[in-house]
Chain A
Amino acid sequence: MTRLGLVFLGMVLLFLYTPILVLMAMGFNASPLYELPFEFSTRWYSDLMGNESLLTAGFNSIVLALITSVLATAIGTLAALALSRRHFRGRSLLQLLLLPPIAIPWLITGTAMLIFFFWTGIGRGMHALVIGHVALAVPYVVLVVGTGLQTVRADLEEAAMSLGSTPIHAFFAITLPLLFPSILGAALFAFAVSLDQFVVSYFLSSPGYVTLPVQIYSAIRKGFTPEINAISTLLLLGSMTVILIFARFARPGAPK
């Protein structure tokens, strides 16, 4: 019985990873038409180095993810402090309001943002993408930091205050250092959310400012070469690295 279960899990992993590995392998195949048999070549990676539009889009994606990560972590951590440490009326409503950015299909959120930004004159482009991405990342930050706060005892801070520390000093001296791994984890998570976001970016990019997934999508629809496999491989490895580092900071179910 145990062996059957493990065989099944192996098949699930095979299903999950086969297309990804095929995608990566085809980035090293010489044929521009993806023809087999396989012939090893690094041609597409060297071509990629000269592909201005893909490189610019990749650079845009990384900068956008960094900005999103910093802003979402800052405002999300503040909100998490209030939501998990303070008692006030309407708290559960506010917690509920964190769900729409996660739960409503991005197609709906993305088209709504497009309409609103157009109507108010905010327009499209980098600033619009920052507004959108931060909103999508904030709920995750609140969740990760909120979970982290449960392991930091609130009475430590109260003890410091009863010994004459100001609330602000108590926060910076006690809670913040203890919370730091969670905050770092949340920042990585927000970075990954932004880096992997396609749907909302698709509606908010302008012709002059495109992120990597949007560029890849238009390439897929207009015709492409294995350069797309090369850059996709780099993107996959990048977000997998970020998530694995995150998993080390906030392992689900791990003893703290």
Chain B
Amino acid sequence: MALRGPVGPRRLPDWMATTALLLPAYAWLTLAVFLPLLTMFVFSFLNKTPMGQAPVEFTLRHYRAFIDQPYLLGVAWNTLMMGVWTTLICAVLGFLAALALVRCSFGRSREMLLVLILLPFWTNGLVRVFSWTMVLRENGFLDSLWHLVGDGSVGFLYSRPAIILGLVHGYLPYMILTCYIALVTIDDAVIEAAQSLGARWWTVLGSILIPLALPGLISGAVLTFVPVIGSFMEPRILGGPVGMTLGTVIEDQFTQAFNWPLGASLSFTLLAVVLAIFATFSGVLRRGTAGAS
């Protein structure tokens, strides 16, 4: 605010104008997000869902769930592995695709390729997961391709690989984008200089491309891993009976078992993991998003 016009009588003080501009959005977020998270935290200490007349008590029991119900440890492990595999596959494929975009396409065609890659990311995730059941089911699209060469069924719906496949399909566009943003800033001259000095392709890859793309890889990995460990409809639809994850257990507490306090404490445990991940990588993420805007 270097220059000021003639101050009219209707002019509000600066701080009031700022507050008035910010209040609607932040009041809304408080009502819809911050207060609910706080309430959930309180709920996670109740001994039962507070309905009817029976008095409720505070307890730490639900945070002991992993000890009291050992099957939850297995579920947590499966969830973790689902996140690790999805993130790894996305990282490898996403990095290579971003590299191909940067090195092999130019101008309008590159822009079109980017739009084509990102388009599915902004369509309904549920419908995309559902679409994989059409491909993977017995006598589905995959089987009809297979029947051109062989017999029997190769469809693998309701298995862990099916869940991973659906999740990779969902988050790959994002990984390509974050890697692309990191790779596109690398000066061609750096690579040419290395090559003219005799560097082979693996040296260029290992000493220049991957280190310089690391912020993009890390932001992509965090932004894949976090939603994946909180997913429930992908394991539900593509995993069927073997698709039990923390997400589906939490969903069950709210829609089937009606044990809201247990659901809340599991949700909060998951949130703690998520926040720890964000805190660990906050520096990289901030630089990553600064590049995106």
Binding site for B on A (CB under 8 A): 1-2, 5-6, 8-9, 12-13, 15-20, 22-23, 26, 34-37, 74-76, 78-79, 81-83, 86, 88, 94, 97-98, 100-101, 103-109, 111-117, 119, 131-132, 134-135, 138, 142-143, 146-147, 155, 158-167, 170, 192, 195-196, 198-199, 203, 213, 216-217, 220-221, 228-229, 232, 235-236, 239-240, 243-244, 247, 251-254
Contact = CB atoms under 8 A, between A and B. Distances in A.
Contacts of B131: 19-20, 22-23, 232
Contacts of A240: 119, 122-123
Given A112-B40, A135-B29, 15 more contacts: A8-B100, A9-B105, A13-B116, A13-B117, A16-B116, A35-B139, A79-B26, A82-B22, A100-B34, A107-B231, A107-B247, A108-B271, A147-B293, A158-B2, A240-B123
B274 interface: yes
B134 A26 contact: yes
11 contacts: A12-B176, A15-B169, A78-B21, A79-B22, A107-B232, A107-B251, A109-B33, A131-B28, A166-B10, A199-B233, A239-B122
A251 to B, nearest CB: 7
B100 A5 contact: yes
B29 A138 contact: yes
A37 B117 CA distance: 30
Interface in B101-128: 101, 103-105, 111, 113-117, 119-120, 122-128
Given A12-B97, A103-B278, A115 B36 contact: yes
Given A111-B254, A161-B5, A198-B126, A78 B24 contact: yes
Nearest to A217: B126
Q: Which 3 A-B pairs have the closest CB atoms?
A: A105-B230, A161-B5, A5-B104
A228 B130 contact: yes
Given A107-B247, A166-B5, A198-B125, A6 B105 contact: yes
Interface string B48-74: 001000000000000000000000000
Contacts of B20: 78
Contacts of A18: 135, 141
Given A105-B229, A108-B270, A196-B122, A134 B100 contact: no
A163 B5 CA distance: 7
A12 B139 contact: no
Nearest to A9: B100
A175 B270 CA distance: 43
A86 to B, nearest CB: 5
Nearest to A213: B126
A100 B191 CA distance: 39
Contacts of B4: 161-162
**Mostly helix, strand, loop or mixed at chain A's interface?**
helix
B contact face: mostly helix, strand, loop, or mixed: helix
B267 A112 contact: yes
A3 to B, nearest CB: 8
Given A2-B104, A78-B21, A111-B40, A36 B144 contact: yes
Contact of A251 (B104, B111, B223, B236): B111
A227 B144 CA distance: 22
Chain B: interface size category: 35 or more
Interface string B243-284: 000010011001000001001100110110010001000000
A198 B129 CA distance: 12
Contacts of A109: 33, 36-37
Interface of B: 1-6, 8, 10-11, 14-15, 17-18, 20-22, 24-26, 28-29, 31-37, 39-40, 43, 50, 93, 96-97, 99-101, 103-105, 111, 113-117, 119-120, 122-128, 130-135, 137, 139-141, 144, 169, 172-173, 176, 223, 226-227, 229-233, 236-237, 247, 250-251, 254, 260, 263-264, 267-268, 270-271, 274, 278, 293
Contacts of B127: 23, 213, 216, 232, 235-236
B28 A75 contact: yes
Contact of A17 (B35, B120, B133): B120
Residue of B10, B117, B120, B140 most packed against chain A (CB within 10 A): B120
Given A19-B128, A158-B2, A6 B104 contact: yes
B270 to A, nearest CB: 6
A93 B291 CA distance: 20
A57 to B, nearest CB: 13
A108 B22 contact: no
Contacts of B115: 244, 247
B258 to A, nearest CB: 12
A19 to B, nearest CB: 4
A97 B111 CA distance: 32
B21 A167 contact: no
B282 to A, nearest CB: 9
Contact of B231 (A9, A83, A105, A192): A105
A108 B111 CA distance: 35
A107 B135 contact: no
Contacts of B120: 16-17, 20
